Amino acid sequence: MIVTVTGGARSGKSSFAERWCMKHAPSGWYVATAQAFDEEMRLRIDRHRLQREGSRYPWTTLEEPLRLAGLLRELPGYDGFHPDSCVLVDCLTLWLSNVLLAEEAEGRAAEDALTREIARLQEAVASYPGTLVLVTNEVGSGIVPEYPLGRLYRDYAGILNQRIAAISDQVFLVTAGIPIELKSREYLL
């Protein structure tokens, strides 16, 4: 089963995704994509890690900022992987920004890399044999970014979200901490 959870910043999407996993699986793998580029982000990552470690729910945390598709393909081979476990990826848009910034830092064509990596992730998600919950930000509801890199990111975040939602069994939009399931309300032409 593939579940996508989207919403704005601080909407409650990660908390909802964690609760969803706790309700549907006896244990979970938490794939964190954030990178600590500064002290504030390092503290934020540490706080989230401690919250999971203090939880009664058995989370196993993996950190993967760039090779997300590869990790999903490798996960069933990990020692201790239980087929009934839920895998929670938090979050896709942070992963996308990591890929974009890595390509930009190397002076490579970011659009080609983003297209390729989104396709690889879509394929890995579609073929994943277990329960997968993917958290992502809905970034297209705001103003048009002033800079080309911001516009490129916004455009590809929309592409990523559409492709992952299309292959998901359930898609939740979380606003003000309230989840609404969208896929069952989908209007088909």
**What residues act catalytically?**
48
Looking at residue 35, the DSSP 8-state letter turns out to be -
- By three-state DSSP, how is residue 176 classified? coil
- Find all residues with CB under 8 Å of 12, minimum gap 6, and list them: 174, 176, 177, 178, 179
Order across the sheet with 2-7: list the strands: 59-63, 28-32, 86-90, 131-137, 2-7, 170-175, 178-181
